[in-house]
C-alpha cells in the first residue's frame, strides 16, 4: 500500500510542477486529487485516525507558510501543494518536506543571485522592504519589484523535496 501511495505522491507532485512551469499556476484539480488520495491512503493505513493524520499534514503548511503568502513571497498554489504533500505524509514528514523545500529554494535563489550578480541588490531590497513594513508603511507585495528573471516556481523545490523523502535523504 505504501509503495502505491509514494508513487501517487510522486506523480501528482510532478504533474503540479509541470503545470506550474508551463502556466505559472498549479491547477486546483491536481491539488484536490492529491489531497483526496492522501486522505484515502492515511485512512486505509491507519483507520479513522489516519484522517486526523492527514488533517494535521494539511493544516501545518497553512499555519507555517501563511505569513509568506500574506506578503506575496509565495503563491497560494505552492502552499496548497505543500498541504497536498502533508495529506500523504502526515504532519511530521510533511514539515520535514516543507523545510527541505525551503532549503532547496534557498539554494536555487542563491544560484540565481550569483548567476545574475544581484546578491547585494537583493539583500538591500529585502532589508529596505523589511524596514518599510516595520515602520508601518502601506502594504505591498514583496514580489512587486522583483524582475521576472529572478523568480522561479516553488513547485520545483517541493518536487525535489518529495524525491528526497522517497530516497530517504531526510
pLDDT tens, position by position, 155-169: 999 999 999 999 988
- The residue count of the chain comes to 170
Mean local confidence (pLDDT), 97-124: 90
Task: Indicate whether 39 pLDDT > 90.
Answer: yes
**pLDDT the model gives residue 146:** 66
**pLDDT the model gives residue 132:** 80
Task: Indicate whether 127 pLDDT > 80.
Answer: yes
C-beta of residue 25 within 8 angstroms of C-beta of residue 19: yes
C-beta of residue 129 within 8 angstroms of C-beta of residue 93: no
**pLDDT the model gives residue 150:** 59
Q: Can you tell me the distance from the alpha carbon of 54 to that of 58, in angstroms, rounded to the nearest whole number?
A: 6
pTM of the model: 0.85
Q: Can you tell me the distance from the alpha carbon of 117 to that of 94, in angstroms, rounded to the nearest whole number?
A: 34
Task: Indicate whether 138 pLDDT > 90.
Answer: no
Of residues 43, 86, 49, the one with CA closest to residue 64? 86
**pLDDT the model gives residue 120:** 87
**pLDDT the model gives residue 147:** 67
Q: Any idea what DSSP says for residue 24?
A: S
Of residues 167, 160, 155, 164, the one with CA closest to residue 18? 155
Amino acid at each position: 500500500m505504501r509503495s502505491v501511495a509514494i508513487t501517487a505522491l510522486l506523480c501528482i507532485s510532478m504533474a503540479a510542477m509541470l503545470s506550474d512551469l508551463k502556466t505559472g499556476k498549479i491547477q486546483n484539480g491536481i491539488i484536490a486529487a492529491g489531497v483526496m488520495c492522501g486522505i484515502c491512503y492515511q485512512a486505509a493505513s491507519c483507520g479513522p485516525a489516519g484522517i486526523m493524520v492527514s488533517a494535521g499534514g494539511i493544516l501545518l503548511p497553512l499555519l507555517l507558510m501563511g505569513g509568506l503568502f500574506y506578503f506575496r513571497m509565495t503563491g497560494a498554489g505552492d502552499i496548497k501543494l505543500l498541504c497536498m504533500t502533508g495529506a500523504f505524509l502526515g504532519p511530521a514528514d510533511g514539515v520535514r518536506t516543507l523545510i527541505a523545500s525551503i532549503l532547496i529554494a534557498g539554494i536555487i535563489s542563491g544560484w540565481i543571485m550569483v548567476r545574475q550578480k544581484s546578491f547585494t541588490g537583493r539583500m538591500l531590497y529585502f532589508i529596505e522592504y523589511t524596514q518599510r513594513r516595520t515602520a508601518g508603511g502601506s502594504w505591498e507585495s514583496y514580489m512587486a519589484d522583483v524582475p521576472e528573471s529572478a523568480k522561479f516556481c516553488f513547485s520545483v523545490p517541493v518536487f525535489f523535496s518529495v524525491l528526497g523523502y522517497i530516497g530517504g535523504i531526510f
